[in-house]
Amino acid sequence: MHSLQRPGVLSLLMVILLASLGACIPATILPSPTDTPVPTECIESLDEETLERLRLSMETTVEMQPGETCQFALGVVECCYYFQKVAACATWSVNPAEGAHIDPDSGVLTIDDTTPSGSVFTVTADVEKGRRMVTIDVHVFTPEDNPLVGIWREEAQFACDTGEELTPEERIGELRFRADGSFSVTWVPFEVYRDYWGTYEYDLATGNLSLQVIEGNYVPDDIDGSGSFAFDEQGRLLLRDIWLGSPYESTGPAHCGHRFRR
């Protein structure tokens, strides 16, 4: 009944979950080196179709914090939202080399403790001695320099005239800010679906926040992406004079702010 509470089992489940998403796996839950031997030579070459489909993550970029260590792996996307790891011979590198280190055989990347927030590194997997170079950018951030990064869930909205807290007609299930300067909004998260997405700019000193929508599956016509952000004593995100739009087939009025919790 309680076997899932064992640390080893939990670590294995976490590895499986992160691997299925093509996410970077923290070193604290990595298997020991003896569990994942690194091949010393290529036994067979990949077919051309698999070679061209190779990528390093389901995401377009990876985000890490100073001091973190993550395992990269080659894979392909199956059935739209599943990252299937591919056994391939590759030599790993990172550029620039200052501020980060990657094991050329295993693909384990470590960001130095002193690497500043905002640094960007490119991880490259040289597959089969030059048959294909697969790359991804790693964006380094700290919560102090970018406290927006992460996934937020809506709790309340603010009335335009009075600032009164209102119950949302339909809560936004996921507001996500990424360290690469992108964001997305989704009312009902499901697998990799997002309602709309774009880029954001913020100023910690003034609290100004600007959201620019690029594209989406559902983009409300009443979005107001310019306003301010702040955090209350409970760490909740307060957006003022920003309206992320009305949900699909909404009959209610637009409001002038949101409150989110992680």
- CA distance linking residue 44 with residue 175, whole number of Å: 44
Give how far Cα 135 sits from Cα of 21, 84, 173, 181, 225, Å. Answer: 17, 17, 31, 19, 32
Percent of the chain with pLDDT over 70: 84
CATH code of the domain covering residue 14: 2.60.40.1080
Is residue 158 a contact partner of residue 165, using CB atoms and an 8 Å limit? yes
User: Is it the case that residue 12 has pLDDT exceeding 90?
Assistant: no
- CA distance linking residue 239 with residue 156, whole number of Å: 10
Of 91, 111, 140, the residue at which a domain comes to its end is 140
**Res. 131 pLDDT band, cuts 50 70 90:** very high
| pLDDT, position 81 | 77
Of 140, 163, 196, the residue at which a domain comes to its end is 140
Give how far Cα 218 sits from Cα of 114, 185, 188, 200, Å. Answer: 41, 10, 12, 18
164 in the same domain as 128:
no
User: Is it the case that residue 40 has pLDDT exceeding 80?
Assistant: no
How many structural domains compose the chain?
A: 2
Kindly list the strands in the beta sheet with 132-140, ordered across the sheet, starting from the edge strand earlier in the chain. Answer: 61-64, 132-140, 120-127, 90-95
Residue 12 in domain:
yes
255 in the same domain as 173:
yes
Which residues on adjacent β-strands are paired with residue 259?
156, 238
132 in the same domain as 154:
no
Of 91, 121, 140, the residue at which a domain comes to its end is 140
Kindly report the length of the chain.
Answer: 262
**Can you give the residue range of the structural domain that contains 84?**
3-140
- Measured from the Cβ of residue 8, the count of other Cβ atoms closer than 10 Å reads 9
Task: Give the pLDDT confidence of 169-210 residue by residue, as tens digits.
Answer: 999 999 999 999 999 999 999 989 999 999 999 999 999 999
User: Is it the case that residue 5 has pLDDT exceeding 60?
Assistant: no
CATH code of the domain covering residue 180: 2.40.128
229 in the same domain as 127:
no
Q: Where are the beta strands (DSSP E) in 9-149?
A: 25-26, 61-64, 69-71, 75-78, 82-85, 90-95, 100-102, 108-111, 120-127, 132-140
| pLDDT, position 4 | 39
Prior bond of 96 cis (ω within 30°)? yes
- CA distance linking residue 230 with residue 249, whole number of Å: 30
Residue 145 in domain:
no
129 in the same domain as 24:
yes
